[in-house]
Amino acid sequence: MSDVLFLQVTLADLNPLREATGWFFALWLILGGGTGLILLYGMGRLLLRERTQPQEAALAPSSSEKFTQTELNRYARHIVLRELGGPGQKRLKNAKALVIGAGGLGVPVLQYLTAGGVGTLGVIDDDVVENANLQRQVIFPYAHIGMPKVFSAQQALEAQNPHVTIRPYHRRLTRDIAAELFAHYDLILDGTDNFDTRYLVNKTAVETGKPLISGALTQWEGQISVFAPAAGTPCYHCIFPQAPAPGLAPSCAALGVLGPLPGVIGSMMAVEAIKWITGAGTTLANQMLIYDALYAETRTITLKRRANCPVCGNLLIKETQTADAG
């Protein structure tokens, strides 16, 4: 290109060589300028890519198990949060959470933890989808009535985020399987609706050292707390040392429950799970949040451990002995 321009400038107008390379100097100048702009654009993109690579490296995981470009785009709103960032999203990807119950609370927990990128989610429930569930358990379609909830939920969750592993357990949680099941997970979320299961979940979580996020509902009101005695908090049994007498705590089927309320409390449980996994902010450990939807009121009460708690009291004694020895 430069040789042609030189000939166009130096040779006489009627020179055969100039004729062979084109008559118009301005045309070659425009062509040369355009080529130069293209080269400059390419160099600019290369420099810009080199400048952005360190930023992308900071967002991506440091291990060999990196995020795909699709995942980076999916979780971009998490990654730009200062409190989460790339490292926080990586912790979510590596986390394993077990959800007890695929009902009103379990459904929104599963949906938001799946959408948020928690890498492995287990869900245990022995129930099937019923028509009466559809008013609040919005993950289940009408066509799935009669289908086990865990398998219906698995289909929806895997369609929502194929980068997450869903482990369904279509059975009731019992003492003989609880400890072994909990051992495979980092965090337990309890959305069950009966006290027997709640006490079993709490006892097993304490015995296995797993943090427990617990939610509950009735009519217009919901509550949520984080129980982690291994980290110094009370356990569920500290706060509720005994179940109410039969008839004093009727089920939602008997009393009713506002349709969107499980979504509110379940979403709060998912928020607490993400904070616990990533270390962001302050969790509801040592606190209980109570939400009254009917009167639009929210209040938080402080919770304390009981030294004589038959479930976690031994942990408190061991902590005291350790402190005294130190």
CATH number at residue 154: 3.40.50.720
Pairing of strands 212-218, 221-227: antiparallel
Per-residue pLDDT tens digits for 189-248: 999 989 999 999 999 999 999 999 999 999 999 999 999 999 999 999 999 998 887 766
Distance CA 165, CA 167 (A): 7
Percent of the chain with pLDDT over 70: 75
Number of domains composing the chain: 2
288, part of any domain: yes
Same domain, yes or no, for 145 and 198?
yes
80, part of any domain: no
116, part of any domain: yes
Q: Provide the 3-class DSSP secondary structure of residue 130.
A: coil
Residue 255: its pLDDT value, please? 83
Same domain, yes or no, for 136 and 48?
no
72, part of any domain: no
Can you give the residue range of the structural domain that contains 42?
A: 2-59
Same domain, yes or no, for 120 and 234?
yes
Same domain, yes or no, for 147 and 32?
no
Same domain, yes or no, for 44 and 104?
no
The pLDDT of 150-160, averaged and rounded, is 98
Are the C-beta atoms of 189 and 99 separated by less than 8 Å? yes
Residue 33: its pLDDT value, please? 60
Judge whether residue 117 has pLDDT over 70: yes
Same domain, yes or no, for 205 and 303?
yes
83, part of any domain: no
Judge whether residue 112 has pLDDT over 90: yes
Same domain, yes or no, for 149 and 7?
no
Same domain, yes or no, for 23 and 105?
no
Same domain, yes or no, for 297 and 172?
yes
Per-residue pLDDT tens digits for 262-294: 999 999 999 999 999 999 999 999 999 999 999
Are the C-beta atoms of 127 and 145 separated by less than 8 Å? no
Sign of CA dihedral 112, 117, 121, 126: positive
Same domain, yes or no, for 231 and 289?
yes
Same domain, yes or no, for 247 and 101?
yes
Residue 57: its pLDDT value, please? 37
84, part of any domain: no
Judge whether residue 50 has pLDDT over 50: no
Q: In 3D, which of 187, 241, 242, 236 has the Cα closest to residue 216?
A: 236
**Least confident stretch, 132-146, 203-217, 225-239, 304-318:** 304-318
In which band, very low, low, confident or very high, does the pLDDT at 59 lie, cut at 50, 70 and 90? Answer: very low
Same domain, yes or no, for 146 and 48?
no
If one compares 23 and 111, the residue with the highest pLDDT of the two is 111
Beta bridge partners of residue 169, listed in sequence order: 124
